[in-house]
Structure 1
Amino acid sequence: MPRGVSRLSIPQYAMALAHVASLRSEDPYRKVGAAALDFDNRVIGTAYNGLAPGFEAPPGFWDDREARQKFMLHAEINLCSLFRRGEAKIVATTTMPCTACMQTLCAYGIKEIYYREVYHASDAPLIAQLYGIKLEQVTDFPLG
């Protein structure tokens, strides 16, 4: 690489991908994106929060945030549907995983998780500490 040319770090790269994925979310209240990289830092997939693929929301569905939340699939769950356990090393998500998503990421063998926004209601930091998973906030990345 020529001198003076900067290159994105892997966490910055993964977070930029997660951010772009979040733009596809149909949720008008909260747009969350996620990206997974393998052990060679190649992209396995990207995903975002929303309804099950192919499902059309009935009229008025998006009007009541509380009523529709139980039907939403989190970005991390959609992402894990794209690979098998042990295939992904890194997951980046625009919001810290909730407790259930963090548990799922542990079950899939994820080693490093990067996020932009803190989610205070999550036990992700405690879960990461117990399982020895790197959990780190990344706020400096393109598009962020």
Structure 2
Amino acid sequence: EPGNTGPTEEEKHAPILNVGRKRISKSGNWTLLVYLLLPEDIVLGTLIEHVDYVVLSGVKTITERDINTKRDDYLGWTDYFMATAFLAAKRSKDPCTQVGACIVNEDKKIVGIGYNGMPIGCSDDEFPWSKRKDCNSLDTKYLYVCHAEVNAIMNRNSKDVKNCTIYVGLFPCNECAKVIIQSGIREVVFMSDKHAHKVETIAAKRMFDAVGTKYWQYTPKNHQIVIDFREINWNAMNQMPSPNTSTKQEDDNGRL
């Protein structure tokens, strides 16, 4: 309203915005803006539509970065491999539980990725996804779905997975444990052990213990890793080399 001197949207939400609008870097006519939100905050789309980054509290904030020195906020190996498993899980059609697995060799190379789903050739639209216990077992998913661990092993791009490590969102069941052991995988890194009380999980651990397969629960440094496809253009700079930095220079006579 004319003459209204009430608080602006930004002022009203000032308690929510931990650092508010912040000028991070400037080059030419562009400015990088950041909002740091508390974990429990909702994303205020209309308020931050022109902001380049939204950073969650507890995650290292974007600061002025020296582009001539190594970054120190890159992903560690364990975070990277577990995040890869979780990304693979996004491909699962299972309406209840989406699990991904990532197999890594001794050289820290990914050699297999998989997620839980129907066998190749078995239609995701025709086979059942139900987990109901009060119906015919043939009408539930349990007799058909291939677990992430098995698919990752079958999808391997190496001769074998002997002495490899498998990163998986959920502790393997007894059937997957058999395949893991038979394939020669020597270490299991898992995120959740929510089925620890089930006989399938107890049996899996019993087999792992018997053969010496190491298993341990992953504790993430951060609760989430955000993939933002826009980050590749974070500095809005021309990535092409300038003429005066080319490895080959012309001399005064135009010769290389």
Same-fold status (TM-score > 0.5): yes
* Identity percentage of aligned residues: 25
Report the Cα distance in structure 1 between the residues aligned to 2:176 and 2:93, rounded to whole angstroms.
20
Counterpart-to-counterpart distance in 1, 2:116 and 2:207: 22
User: Deviations along 1:33-86, whole A, 9 cap, x unmatched?
Assistant: 000111201011211001012422345833x32422211111111111123444
2:100 pairs, out of 5, 25, 33, with: 33
Match of 2:11 in 1: none
- Which residue of structure 1 aligns with residue 88 of structure 2? 21
Contact 2:93 2:124 in 1 (8 A): no
Q: 1:48 to 1:60 in 2, by over 3 A?
A: closer
Q: Which residue of 2 aligns with 1:75?
A: 148
Amino acid at match of 1:31: Q
Question: Which residue identity does 1:109 align to in structure 2?
Answer: G
> Following superposition, which runs of at least 4 residues in structure 1 exceed 6 angstroms of deviation?
none
Instruction: Look up the SS of the partner of 1:61 in the other structure.
Output: coil
- Give TM-score, length-normalised by structure 2: 0.50
Q: Quick check: which one's helix share is greater? A: 1
For 2:45, the equivalent position in structure 1 comes to none
Does the 8 Å CA contact 1:51/1:71 hold for their aligned counterparts?
yes
| Structure number with higher relative contact order (C-alpha < 8 Å, ≥ 6 residues apart) | 1
Matches within 5 A, 1:35-54: 35-54=102-121
1:127 match: 207
Question: Using the alignment, how far apart are the partners of 1:99 and 1:110 within structure 2?
Answer: 15
Kindly tell me: are residues 88 and 17 of structure 1, through their superposed partners in 2, closer, same or farther at Cα, counting changes over 3 Å?
farther
How far the C-alpha of 1:111 sits from its partner, in A, is 1.3
Q: Is this contact kept in 2: 1:44–1:88, CA < 8 A? A: no
Deviation at 1:7, TM superposition (A): 4.5
TM-score after normalising by structure 1: 0.85
Shift of residue 6 of structure 1?
4.4
Counterpart in the other structure of 2:128 = 61
Q: Which runs of 5+ in 2 are unaligned?
A: 1-68, 133-139, 226-256
Deviation at 1:139, TM superposition (A): 3.0
Structure 1 residues 3-31: Cα deviation after superposition (integer angstroms, max 9, x where no partner)? 78145443322211111111100000111
For residues 47 and 88 of structure 1, the distance between their equivalents in structure 2, rounded to whole angstroms, comes to 18
Name the aligned partner's letter for residue 99 of structure 1: N
Structure 2 counterpart of 1:96: 171
